[in-house]
Chain A
Amino acid sequence: MTYEAVPGVVETREAFGETTLVVDPARLVEACTHLRDEEGFNLLSDIAAADYLGWGEQGVAGYIGTAAGRDLHEPGSQGLAHVPAPKPKRFSVSYHLLRVGDVPARVRVQVWLDDGEAVATLVPVWPAADWFEREAWDMVGVRFEGHPNLVRILMPDDWEGHPLRKDYPLGGEPVRFSGED
């Protein structure tokens, strides 16, 4: 499946049987309109925003050792002697599209953004994007230009902070056990 005709594509990746089109954020609406009208992707399945702050720093050995405390390339160290390649920017927003038709297909359109950068809204292209973009704004803090109603959706209206960012703490309380005071 080739997507050469899609405007604004910066990179195409194929992995695990899935196609990812990395698109320039400025040309996102153009690319998606093309995908909807010419390629027939009529259903927007999901919009997933992810924060890559700290990607690769912890080291592949999980919570055993950090980049500062253990040399991952040392032979015999635990885990794969491999650190994941750094990501271009801090946030990625992945749009998962589905073609409901005679030739079913899925594709992922991805844009990369830094903190504070905004991307155009896809509500005019697929109205289903409404709440997905609100959730991405609420949870990760990615702004969508032109969204008609960009307010918090899952957290209370007066909440501060964006919970799914990596620098936002998990929260909760320390667990107390009966018998200790």
Chain B
Amino acid sequence: MTVVPSTRIYEGTRIPPRVPTILDVDPSKHDPGDILRVNFGPNHPSTHGVLRLIVDLDGEAIAGIEAVIGYLHTGFEKTMEQKSWWKSVTYPARIDYLGFHANELEYVLAIEKLLGIDVPRRATWARMALAELNRIHSHLVWLGTAALELGAISMFWYAFDDRDAVLDLFELAGGTRLHTRYVQAGGLAEDLPPGFTDEVRKFCAAMPKSVDEYETILDKQKIWLERTKGIGLLSADDALALGQSGPVLRASGVDWDLRKNMPYLAYDEVDFDVPVYANGDVYDRYKVHMDEMRESVRIVLQCCDRLDEMEGEPWIADDRKVVLPPRHELHTSMESLIYHFKIVTEGYRVPEGEVYVVIESPRGEAGCYLVSDGGARPWRVKFRAPSFAALQATATVVQGALVADMVAVAASLDFIMGDTDR
């Protein structure tokens, strides 16, 4: 893992000294009489959800900023404590609602770690393919909305058109566009439909050309470059100190990707590169997102090849204490009937323990801390939200920016308010 020396971006640290997440007005640089306090949100033109920023402006320059969150706090963690293990899998998808598969996956991986269950490899590879398709979906929505906010309005339509193609694939596999709830403790809820890999290949044939088109539109566009280059600087040391991960960390020069450095599922068996850029500004974060889309297409194609080889294999574990038996067995086997009854009424039980499972969601390090008391319901579920950590960096990243850049900077941190507030 290489780290570009952070002195290339800026010297020292820019984390505010008093409170790391609040930028205070510096009286030596700004006359306190010139400061105008503006409230940006929770309902605001940018499409990022209910974030409230209290900004102190000196003319157009940002002198102070504070982020106020909590407007979408849904109480996931408390609600999931009351639901059985089976039913609670519907909840995590709604946390990071762009990376819904990643959230479900981290929760289900945590349950499987506690259960110690063997997941069949067809399920593992299918989960990987869907996770990468989810990454493409999330980056496309990010691109469409970020470009829209910076003025490149037509990107919104192009990106969302491709995104509808991805959601068609999710609908083919999981039955619904968003929040598929396709993963389940032990594997997949149902087998992949026949012809799924062909449809995915068709999409992957068209996708890299789309990414090339987007880059043609944006990469050398003078306005785009002026609005993103050199804006929103974050050095590698500051990024690590603030708990950043994912594209933000990779754009600051740190070569860190959980899929490569701490692989989960079958990521150590696929071939892909991790894009790392060294300037730590909004432009580099945009480049990281674009390159990641291309790499995800590579991974998905490899998964399709492997899935074709595994045609006909089981898609869920065989452990009847956790997984419902196939319906036709209920007519003939008494034990299956009993297992079915126990699982449906009480729910399966997960052994006592605590685990912390982290995956690389489209936003970065997304984790699930799960405590079980051996019963039919979770005792404590805590989701580590990458957007929560990303928003902590607002005070550091926005220094030296003008108010028009604030939107660009906030968009580049790629946060989702559902993820932040949970």
Does A touch B (CB under 8 Å) in the complex?
yes
- Cβ contact within 8 Å between A60 and B349: yes
Q: How far is the CA of A75 from the CA of B304 in the complex (A)?
A: 50
**Which of B254, B261, B392 is A104 in contact with, Cβ under 8 Å?**
B261
Known: A16-B113, A131-B392, A164-B77. A96 touches B384 (CB 8 A): yes
Q: How far is the CA of A20 from the CA of B376 in the complex (A)?
A: 24
Q: How far is the CA of A68 from the CA of B2 in the complex (A)?
A: 58
- Point out the residues of chain A lying under 8 angstroms from B18, CB to CB: 148
* Nearest CB on B from A51, distance (A): 8
- Point out the residues of chain A lying under 8 angstroms from B349, CB to CB: 60, 62, 79-80
Question: Which residues 93-122 of A have a CB within 8 angstroms of B?
Answer: 94, 96, 98, 100-102, 104, 106, 108
Question: Which residues 131-166 of A have a CB within 8 angstroms of B?
Answer: 131-132, 135, 139, 148-149, 152-156, 163-164
Q: How far is the CA of A101 from the CA of B243 in the complex (A)?
A: 14
Q: Mark A42-71, 1 if CB is under 8 A from B, else 0.
A: 111110101110011011111110000000
- Cβ contact within 8 Å between A154 and B73: yes
Q: Which of B18, B254, B262, B389 has the most CB of A within 10 A?
A: B389
Question: Which residues 219-267 of B have a CB within 8 angstroms of A?
Answer: 240-243, 245, 254, 256, 261-262
**Which of B75, B241, B374, B422 is A126 in contact with, Cβ under 8 Å?**
B241
**Which of A123, A168, A170 is B20 in contact with, Cβ under 8 Å?**
A123
Residues of A within 8 A of B (CB): 15-18, 20, 42-46, 48, 50-52, 55-56, 58-64, 79-80, 82, 84, 94, 96, 98, 100-102, 104, 106, 108, 123, 126-128, 130-132, 135, 139, 148-149, 152-156, 163-164, 168, 170-171
* Nearest CB on B from A155, distance (A): 6
Known: A56-B373, A131-B388. A155 touches B367 (CB 8 A): no
- Point out the residues of chain A lying under 8 angstroms from B392, CB to CB: 127-128, 130-131
* Nearest CB on B from A136, distance (A): 10
* Nearest CB on B from A134, distance (A): 9
- Point out the residues of chain B lying under 8 angstroms from A106, CB to CB: 262, 356, 358
- Cβ contact within 8 Å between A127 and B241: yes
- Cβ contact within 8 Å between B243 and A62: no
B347 interface residue, CB < 8 Å from A?
yes
**Which of A18, A64, A82, A102 is B356 in contact with, Cβ under 8 Å?**
A18
- Cβ contact within 8 Å between B384 and A46: yes
- Point out the residues of chain A lying under 8 angstroms from B151, CB to CB: none
Q: Which of B75, B242, B243, B369 has the most CB of A within 10 A?
A: B243
- Cβ contact within 8 Å between B19 and A102: no
- Point out the residues of chain B lying under 8 angstroms from A46, CB to CB: 356, 367, 369, 382, 384
- Point out the residues of chain B lying under 8 angstroms from A43, CB to CB: 240, 243, 245
- Cβ contact within 8 Å between B1 and A45: no
* Nearest CB on B from A33, distance (A): 13
Q: How far is the CA of A131 from the CA of B392 in the complex (A)?
A: 7
- Point out the residues of chain A lying under 8 angstroms from B21, CB to CB: 130-131, 149
- Cβ contact within 8 Å between A84 and B374: yes
* Nearest CB on A from B145, distance (A): 24
Q: How far is the CA of A108 from the CA of B242 in the complex (A)?
A: 18
Q: How far is the CA of A57 from the CA of B388 in the complex (A)?
A: 34
- Point out the residues of chain B lying under 8 angstroms from A170, CB to CB: 75, 78-79, 82
- Cβ contact within 8 Å between B1 and A101: yes
Q: How far is the CA of A4 from the CA of B72 in the complex (A)?
A: 43
Q: Mark B174-198, 1 if CB is under 8 A from A, else 0.
A: 0000000000000000000000000
- Point out the residues of chain A lying under 8 angstroms from B373, CB to CB: 55-56, 58, 60, 84
- Cβ contact within 8 Å between B70 and A100: no
Q: Mark B1-38, 1 if CB is under 8 A from A, else 0.
A: 10000000000000100111110000000000000000
Q: How far is the CA of A63 from the CA of B373 in the complex (A)?
A: 13
Known: A62-B376, A82-B374, A84-B374. A154 touches B352 (CB 8 A): no
- Point out the residues of chain A lying under 8 angstroms from B242, CB to CB: 127-128
Known: A50-B380, A60-B375, A96-B369. A16 touches B77 (CB 8 A): no
B377 interface residue, CB < 8 Å from A?
yes
- Cβ contact within 8 Å between B382 and A100: no
Q: How far is the CA of A131 from the CA of B242 in the complex (A)?
A: 10
Known: A48-B382, A104-B262. A130 touches B353 (CB 8 A): no
- Cβ contact within 8 Å between B79 and A100: no
- Point out the residues of chain A lying under 8 angstroms from B360, CB to CB: none
B379 interface residue, CB < 8 Å from A?
yes
- Cβ contact within 8 Å between B389 and A128: yes
Q: How far is the CA of A130 from the CA of B72 in the complex (A)?
A: 20
Q: How far is the CA of A17 from the CA of B113 in the complex (A)?
A: 9
- Cβ contact within 8 Å between B69 and A130: no
B104 interface residue, CB < 8 Å from A?
no
Q: How far is the CA of A168 from the CA of B79 in the complex (A)?
A: 12
B313 interface residue, CB < 8 Å from A?
no
Known: A43-B245, A154-B421, A171-B75. 15 other contacts (CB 8 A): A15-B354, A45-B358, A50-B380, A63-B377, A96-B369, A106-B262, A126-B241, A131-B389, A148-B18, A149-B21, A149-B22, A154-B70, A154-B422, A155-B73, A170-B78
Known: A46-B382, A62-B375. A16 touches B114 (CB 8 A): yes
Known: A130-B20, A131-B388. A16 touches B355 (CB 8 A): yes
Residue of chain A at shortest CB distance from B374: A60
- Cβ contact within 8 Å between A48 and B369: yes
B319 interface residue, CB < 8 Å from A?
no
Known: A148-B19, A163-B75, A170-B79. A126 touches B1 (CB 8 A): no
